Structure 1
Amino acid sequence: MSLTLHDITLTYADGEGRLTALDGVDLDVPAGTLTAIVGPSGSGKSSLLAVAATLVTPDRGRVVVGGTETGALSAAERAELRRRRMGIVFQQPNLLASLTALEQVELMARIDGHGRSAEIRERARELLATVGLADLAHRRPHQLSGGQRQRIGIARALMNTPALLLVDEPTSALDHERGAAVLDLLGRLTRERGTATILVTHDRARLTVADRVVELVDGRVRATPGSPSQCGT
């Protein structure tokens, strides 16, 4: 499933005026590719991710997810699209203190009634193994490192087999080695699972994992999507 953003403009109230967060942004993310979004603070990166996730409706433009024009959907239908077709990895994993790593990953499928209990548990175990945490399945968040908690967030986002994966600053709280491991994991999972992935990041040192790099400055695309080296990284 691919993602297309066409002529996206988004503004926010700013006193008596309007602040432009995104200004005519075009972006295509084909299935099985990872697009990295970079830019200074306030450039519109988080706004772009929110629009792509259908959490925010733009003032102008089209958001097309897997051929579906999301502007024509009701709020309930957009929520259903997010639940069934998207995985969102937040900057902070926001794990529940009382749940084990395995239970964290199971949670969304259980809420959604996505399969039988035994099937849900088996899939959660497989995902923990995929992110290298099979032996930590019964640990709670306070017993895990920052990198381990971030990887649980990735496994949780993959639980319902999303076709679109949206990842916000996954390495911001990690050291270089752990951050590199997380980015390499996202690149591998994107290609193995055929997801369309957007990665918002400040970590320019590891952008070789991306198929394309898009730089946002003042809400506008500054560089034409291409290889990392073509985008000035």
Structure 2
Amino acid sequence: MSLTLEDITLTYADGEGRLTALDGVGLDVPAGTLTAVVGPSGSGKSSLLAVAATLVTPDRGRVVVGGTETGALSAAERAELRRRRMGIVFQQPNLLASLTALEQVELMARIDGRGRGRGRGRSGEVRERARELLDTVGLAGLAHRRPHQLSGGQRQRVGIARALMNEPAVLLVDEPTSALDHERGAAVLELLGRLTREWGTATVLVTHDRERLSFADRVVELVDGRVGVASVS
């Protein structure tokens, strides 16, 4: 399932005028590929992710997820799309202090209504999938630790596993290395690139880190709300 943004323009009220956050942005992310978006602070990167996630409606343009134009959906239908078909990895994982790493990942399935009763979605299968995802991100031995017992990189990887719990077709990642040292940041970026290809997701990753973008299939730069091909050192 691909993600396509067509001619996206987004403005915000700014005093008596309007501030343009995105200006005719187009982006096509096929399934199984990762597009990295770089750019200075205030260039529109966070706005781009918000529009792609259908959290913000643009003034003009279309967001198409797997052939479905999201502008034609109701608010409830967009929420359903996010819950079932999208994974979002926030800059800060925002883990719940009272839950273990395993429970953080399971929570996504329970929000989606799985893990109760009998059948394919029963609790045991949800737990097994959560364990498999923690193993995938290298945290199998830390499943029962709570956030304060995990390093920053480990918490970020729990956030990635959580985002993958419902098998998203689209993965949106916001500055995953901003609070990590070089080694841990590189490991997280490599993991995201590998999972994108293995899982066949259409991944958009916003990052300030221009030095480690070899994992990306495409790198674009946002400057003043407009997109172009980035120069990477």
TM-score for both structures, normalised by structure 1: 0.95
The whole-number CA distance in structure 1 between the counterparts of 2:75 and 2:223 is 30
1:40-78 deviations in Å (ceiling 9; x for gaps): 000000000000000000000010000000000000000
> Alignment partner for residue 122 of structure 2, among 116, 122, 128?
116
Q: The residue matched to 1:64 in structure 2 has which SS? A: strand
Cα root mean square deviation, aligned: 1.1
The whole-number CA distance in structure 2 between the counterparts of 1:163 and 1:177 is 28
1:97-117 deviations in Å (ceiling 9; x for gaps): 000000000001012198110
Q: How much does 1:210 deviate? A: 0.3
Runs of 4+ with deviation above 3 angstroms? none
1:7-42 deviations in Å (ceiling 9; x for gaps): 000000000000000000010000000000000000
TM-score for both structures, normalised by structure 2: 0.95
Does the Cα contact within 8 Å between 2:210 and 2:232 map onto a contact in 1? no
The whole-number CA distance in structure 2 between the counterparts of 1:99 and 1:123 is 17
User: 1:227 corresponds to which residue?
Assistant: none
The whole-number CA distance in structure 2 between the counterparts of 1:16 and 1:97 is 42
The whole-number CA distance in structure 2 between the counterparts of 1:212 and 1:67 is 21
Q: How much does 1:153 deviate? A: 0.1
User: 1:106 corresponds to which residue?
Assistant: 106
User: 2:78 corresponds to which residue?
Assistant: 78
Q: The residue matched to 2:176 in structure 1 has which SS? A: coil
Identity of aligned residues (%): 91
Q: Select between 12-21 and 108-117 the one with higher mean Cα deviation.
A: 108-117
User: 2:140 corresponds to which residue?
Assistant: 134
Q: The residue matched to 1:207 in structure 2 has which SS? A: coil
Going from structure 1 to structure 2, the CA distance change for 1:220 and 1:151 (only over 3 Å counts) comes to same
The whole-number CA distance in structure 2 between the counterparts of 1:63 and 1:138 is 39
Q: The residue matched to 2:145 in structure 1 has which SS? A: coil
1:190-212 deviations in Å (ceiling 9; x for gaps): 00000000000001111001000
Going from structure 1 to structure 2, the CA distance change for 1:39 and 1:114 (only over 3 Å counts) comes to farther
Q: The residue matched to 1:204 in structure 2 has which SS? A: coil
User: 2:168 corresponds to which residue?
Assistant: 162
The whole-number CA distance in structure 2 between the counterparts of 1:196 and 1:154 is 15
1:134-158 deviations in Å (ceiling 9; x for gaps): 0000000000000000000000000
The whole-number CA distance in structure 1 between the counterparts of 2:232 and 2:188 is 23
- Segments of 5+ residues of structure 1 without an aligned counterpart are 222-230
**How many correspondences in the alignment?**
224
User: 2:115 corresponds to which residue?
Assistant: none
Going from structure 1 to structure 2, the CA distance change for 1:114 and 1:217 (only over 3 Å counts) comes to farther
TM alignment of 1:177-216, pairs within 5 A? 177-216=183-222
1:202-233 deviations in Å (ceiling 9; x for gaps): 01111001000010000001xxxxxxxxx444
The structure richer in helix per residue is 1
Q: The residue matched to 2:204 in structure 1 has which SS? A: strand
Q: The residue matched to 2:156 in structure 1 has which SS? A: helix
Q: The residue matched to 1:216 in structure 2 has which SS? A: strand
The whole-number CA distance in structure 2 between the counterparts of 1:232 and 1:110 is 41
